[in-house]
Amino acid sequence: MGLSGIMGKAGLEIYPQIGLIIFLAVFAGVVWNTFRKGRKAELEEAGRIPLDDFTPVHEREGDRDEVTP
C-alpha cells in the first residue's frame, strides 16, 4: 500500500471541516476585536496615517485629543 493508500484509510476527511471551523472562529474573533468600543479612537487615529507623509501620526499637532487616553 502506497502513501495515498495509507492516507486514504486514515480517515482524514474530517480535518478540512475542523480547519474550516477554526478559521471561522479566529475570523469572528478578529471582527469582534476590531469593532469593540475600546478601539474606536485608536483605529480612527491610525486611519489618518496616510494624510501626512512626513510626521508619524502620534507626533502630529491637533490630533492629540483623539489619542487613546
Which residues contribute to the site for other proteins (CB under 8 A)?
3-5, 7-8, 12-13, 15-16, 19-20, 23, 26-27, 29-36, 38-40, 42-51, 53-59, 68
Residues recorded for the chain: 69
- Alpha helices, DSSP H, located in 1-69: 3-9, 14-35, 40-46
Q: How far is the CB of 36 from other proteins (least distance, A)?
A: 7
Burial class (CB in 10 A: 0-12, 13-18, 19+), 45: middle
Q: How far is the CB of 2 from other proteins (least distance, A)?
A: 8
Q: How far is the CB of 30 from other proteins (least distance, A)?
A: 5
